[in-house]
Structure 1
Amino acid sequence: MKSMNCDVLVIGGGVTGIAAATAAARNGAKTILLESKPFVGGNATTGLCLHNFITRYGRQVVFGLAQEMVDRLIEMGGAVGHIPYGSFVHSVTPVDGELFKTLSTEMLNEAGVTTILGVNVIGADVDAGGENITGVQVALKGGIRTITAKTYIDASGDADVAVSAGASYIKGDRKTGKMQPVSMILRCFGTNNQEIVDAIAVTKPAMAKRADYPNPIPVYFNGSFSKWNDIVLKNKIFPNKDHKVFFNTVWPNNINVNTSAVVGIDGTDPLALSRAAVDLTKQIYRIGQFLKENVPGFQNAYFMPSAFAGVRETRRIEGLYEITDDDVKQGRKFEDTIGQICFPVDIHDPDTGQAAFYQIGADGAFDIPFRSLVPKGLHNILVAGRCVSATSFAHGATRNMAPCLVMGQSAGVAAAMAANENLSITNLDIQKLQKNLEEQGVYLGNRSQNSLNPQTYTP
């Protein structure tokens, strides 16, 4: 089949890939984006919040493309901004999933990205030395094609291309191999959200105003099914009592419910993931019926499961630097920073599915070192998103969507620089990259207070 070529090839059209491809194209690179689903937007299309822009101390550290998307969604009616919450995070940023999908499609098109949907990566070719990718093999309607690029960005979530090219990786917990459960969002329409808050909330809800609605509405809150433990256990709605539930929305009369889970699933195994999608769809139906019959505010609702299972954890590459537990706990800063993360470590227990949160230390944010995006032994690919080089604990923070948007934009700028200057990723001028990122709105913390020595960045 006919081959295709570009300057920057981005694999994965979730939030990371959208930011990466948009940034690469805006920086002058001929960019192709590949996505296996028939739409772009990834987990944000389910209506999940874009956690998290603001530290627990009230300082915003996520800007750039991430903030641009929120601003444009507000204009479209698909977001309400960063809303104070005061529970496990300072604020939340809910979005409408369908409008996020629309905006993502528009931004990629505006930037001149060639987006190809329904594509599956089946392999990567490398040069004789095994250090540079020479092409990515993909299956799409019409047959098998090879797409070549100067620089590659793996935003697949599972590090599919990097691993196919020979990158080393860790899957799940380093000791046990266990991974966080997969879930499916339940989308509920025709709800009375204030009644839901009154019935089930265990935290004070985040309240927001919409320009097209007269009263403030609850847009985020945590709940518990403790009142219904007997029914939950008798009807096997959940495997445990006091089950937690998370709600979010930007509307007064529909809401997203995040409470399902299937444990013991390897998200890189298509058979296991397919079985999980079946189980989650059935589980979501039972949860919807339970809500309609028992929880005030849902009595007139109708329900729709998300189109796919959301995967929290699979592979993490072994990069030039691994983000450690202590980096998160101490809020560590790095000389080669390409952005900051302020969402707490969010780990859903691999055995029970219950969520636990662990706060970031120091000023409430830690830096993302550029080296954590660079796989050991490969010179023309960056990995961005939930499969960056990090411990399982640190991954609880790095995997979330605001950090993924930051990493995506930074990877896109870096990949475009490497392609435009005919450089390998490992030969990039990090100070020049940081200057470009700052000019394009990416917040790099206290970088200006550091005296970066380029010699400290060595492949």
Structure 2
Amino acid sequence: MTPTTVRLPARDVPVHGEYEVVVIGGGPAGVMAAAAAARAGRSTLLIERYGFLGGAGTMGGLSTFCGLHARMHGEDTRVIRGLADDLLDRMERLDALNPPHLSVDNRILAQAFDISSYKIALDDLMLAAGAELLFHASVQGVVMADESRIDGVVVESKSGAALVRGRVFVDGSGDADVAAWAGAPFERSEHLLYPSLMFRINGVHPEEAGEAWRIVRRLMEEAEAAGTHRFPRKKPIVRPQRNPLEWRANLTQLSNADGSAIDGTDVRQLTRGELQGRRQVQDAFAFIRAVTPGFQDSYIVDIAPQIGIRETRRIIGAYQLTEADVLGCADFDDTIGVNGWPVEAHVQGDVEFRFAPADSRGYNQLPYRMLVPGRVENLLVAGRCASMTQGGQSSGRVTGPCFAMGQAAGTAADLALDAGIAVRAIDTATLQRRLEEDGVFLGGEASRIRPVAEAAPVS
């Protein structure tokens, strides 16, 4: 009988380098963590498995910033500030941003961007901050100094295996990879949020297409009602990009044979999701091109390099952000930023949105404790794998709050190193003061936070 396991030989690997702060993952949380730590003067390495930064916004083809804004007492207001201002300014100079547009039945703002320009702006942000980048390198394990401290992370690349040593680590992997390998407690939902595969359409006639995002949804619903077509999920998103000849499409939903969501930590399921996603893209585009005015000469210009995973592992930290916190606009004494996005639950066949009350301030604060895992003293976890329940994560996983978590993590790493203490022991009042000095909005209705003058009618 063929054995089901084999023992690989032990090996000696070189040390790639030693850094004060090591950030794993170049998504929105990771880039802000690395930028904040490097700007504070810390030797900082950001490790990214692709050859570019941006996470879901680039490799996932998302091309839209969600969660930068909140509807504060009826006024649409950008509430994600600090390093995000620097990034958006760089993108403005590249002419890479659409004006914010009303999304989700006109109840919240989102902002479309050009993916290629986003990659360039992130490169510039990192290099200007003084962070070192290591592309095409995948973190595959950890080496522990003792039960509560990470000594280094093992990276695999075309150059082979190597160890990256650090004093403080930030897990921005999205899947809590480093936290899990280091022994930090985590959880996984019984029913995961469903992933999607994004694609972009070019060759659209914008004058004829008009507000086609309204038409596409209606046409798809009518076709399903008539029994001529069956689509994987309701509430499709099809909207124009920076150049109105190009539109983005978010309307797939990826599942296993039993109907469960694809698990982004299972390579076989990931493979199934990629194949299934491209079939769904082909079918959905054929329908859109055939029935939507202005799309008759269009074509698929890009399918995202990877399916977009919404949820896998989430750490169980010092506090778990909940759906009740989101909908109740919760306050926290250790706030490190805010989140104004609604609960966005991708359930089987549909997307369910739940909002804070219409007359509320429209955002919850984010506590520092949600970044602090159990057991590991020199690790912070930021992004969609931070300490949240599934309901809280359905809101807090989008770009805006991930920017806020990342900047806080990088700043907290600097404070912990300065004091020579565990990351959980830093003085949060000092962290808050530093963040406010760097322009972050922590949740008071400060005078510098102004409503968006006018949302773009199309974008």
TM-score (norm 1): 0.86
Letter in 2 for 1:152: F
User: Following superposition, which runs of at least 4 residues in structure 1 exceed 6 angstroms of deviation?
Assistant: none
> Counterpart of 2:352?
356
User: 2:97, 2:114 within 8 Å by CA — same for their partners in 1?
Assistant: yes
Letter in 2 for 1:75: R
Larger mean CA deviation between 221-230 and 42-51 belongs to: 221-230
Work out whether 1:111 is the aligned partner of 2:126.
no
Larger mean CA deviation between 439-448 and 294-303 belongs to: 439-448
Q: 1:49 to 1:200 in 2, by over 3 A?
A: closer
What is the CA distance between 1:332 and its match in structure 2?
A: 0.6
Determine which of 335, 338, 353 is the counterpart of 1:337. 335
> Counterpart of 1:153?
170
- Counterparts of 1:439 and 1:358, CA distance in 2: 33
> Counterpart of 1:455?
none
Letter in 2 for 1:435: R
What is the CA distance between 1:74 and its match in structure 2?
A: 1.7
Structure 1: where are the runs of 5+ without partners? Answer: 203-220, 449-459
Determine which of 428, 431, 435 is the counterpart of 1:430. 428
What is the CA distance between 1:409 and its match in structure 2?
A: 1.1
Q: 1:294 to 1:7 in 2, by over 3 A?
A: same
Letter in 2 for 1:326: A
User: 1:335, 1:447 within 8 Å by CA — same for their partners in 2?
Assistant: no
What is the CA distance between 1:348 and its match in structure 2?
A: 0.9
Work out whether 1:278 is the aligned partner of 2:275.
yes
> Counterpart of 1:48?
63
User: 1:188, 1:255 within 8 Å by CA — same for their partners in 2?
Assistant: yes
Q: 1:364 to 1:199 in 2, by over 3 A?
A: closer
1:218-263 residue CA offsets vs partner (Å, 9 max, x unmatched): xxx97661233378x5455x246x6533425222211101101102
Q: Give 3-state SS (helix, strand or coil) of 1:367's partner.
A: strand
- Counterparts of 1:91 and 1:248, CA distance in 2: 15
Q: Give 3-state SS (helix, strand or coil) of 2:22's partner.
A: strand
What is the CA distance between 1:416 and its match in structure 2?
A: 2.2
User: 1:224, 1:244 within 8 Å by CA — same for their partners in 2?
Assistant: no
How many residues align structurally?
420
Determine which of 285, 292, 297 is the counterpart of 1:295. 292
Q: 1:248 to 1:399 in 2, by over 3 A?
A: farther
User: 1:120, 1:138 within 8 Å by CA — same for their partners in 2?
Assistant: yes
- Counterparts of 1:28 and 1:224, CA distance in 2: 54
RMSD over aligned CA atoms reads 2.1
Determine which of 166, 180, 203 is the counterpart of 1:163. 180
1:350-386 residue CA offsets vs partner (Å, 9 max, x unmatched): x22x111111354211011000100011111100000
> Counterpart of 1:186?
199
Letter in 1 for 2:140: I
> Counterpart of 2:454?
none
Work out whether 1:98 is the aligned partner of 2:116.
yes
- Counterparts of 1:198 and 1:439, CA distance in 2: 42
- Counterparts of 1:91 and 1:358, CA distance in 2: 15
- Counterparts of 1:312 and 1:195, CA distance in 2: 34
User: 2:108, 2:341 within 8 Å by CA — same for their partners in 1?
Assistant: no
TM-score (norm 2): 0.86
Structure 2: where are the runs of 5+ without partners? Answer: 1-12, 256-260, 447-459
Q: 1:154 to 1:160 in 2, by over 3 A?
A: same
Q: 1:222 to 1:377 in 2, by over 3 A?
A: farther
1:200-349 equivalence runs, <5 A: 200-201=213-214, 225-229=220-224, 234=228, 236=230, 238-239=231-232, 244-263=236-255, 264-303=261-300, 304-349=302-347
- Counterparts of 1:340 and 1:12, CA distance in 2: 22
Larger mean CA deviation between 66-75 and 432-441 belongs to: 66-75
Q: Give 3-state SS (helix, strand or coil) of 2:41's partner.
A: coil
Q: 1:372 to 1:108 in 2, by over 3 A?
A: same
Percent identical pairs in the alignment equals 31
User: 2:323, 2:343 within 8 Å by CA — same for their partners in 1?
Assistant: no
Larger mean CA deviation between 78-87 and 308-317 belongs to: 78-87
- Counterparts of 2:421 and 2:99, CA distance in 1: 39
- Counterparts of 2:179 and 2:326, CA distance in 1: 25
Q: 1:84 to 1:324 in 2, by over 3 A?
A: closer
What is the CA distance between 1:37 and its match in structure 2?
A: 1.6
Q: Give 3-state SS (helix, strand or coil) of 2:70's partner.
A: coil
> Counterpart of 1:216?
none
User: 2:22, 2:168 within 8 Å by CA — same for their partners in 1?
Assistant: yes
What is the CA distance between 1:2 and its match in structure 2?
A: 2.0
> Counterpart of 2:97?
79
- Counterparts of 1:294 and 1:222, CA distance in 2: 12
Larger mean CA deviation between 45-54 and 161-170 belongs to: 45-54
User: 1:224, 1:245 within 8 Å by CA — same for their partners in 2?
Assistant: no
- Counterparts of 2:368 and 2:299, CA distance in 1: 45
What is the CA distance between 1:68 and its match in structure 2?
A: 2.3
- Counterparts of 1:223 and 1:100, CA distance in 2: 32
Letter in 1 for 2:14: K
Determine which of 70, 75, 80 is the counterpart of 2:88. 70
- Counterparts of 1:243 and 1:320, CA distance in 2: 35
- Counterparts of 2:211 and 2:53, CA distance in 1: 35
Determine which of 380, 385, 390 is the counterpart of 2:383. 385
Larger mean CA deviation between 400-409 and 34-43 belongs to: 34-43
- Counterparts of 2:235 and 2:421, CA distance in 1: 51
What is the CA distance between 1:67 and its match in structure 2?
A: 2.6
Q: 1:193 to 1:329 in 2, by over 3 A?
A: same
User: 1:29, 1:419 within 8 Å by CA — same for their partners in 2?
Assistant: no
Work out whether 1:398 is the aligned partner of 2:396.
yes
What is the CA distance between 1:52 and its match in structure 2?
A: 2.0
> Counterpart of 1:441?
439
Larger mean CA deviation between 439-448 and 333-342 belongs to: 439-448
What is the CA distance between 1:274 and its match in structure 2?
A: 1.9
- Counterparts of 1:223 and 1:77, CA distance in 2: 32
Q: 1:330 to 1:225 in 2, by over 3 A?
A: same
> Counterpart of 2:142?
124
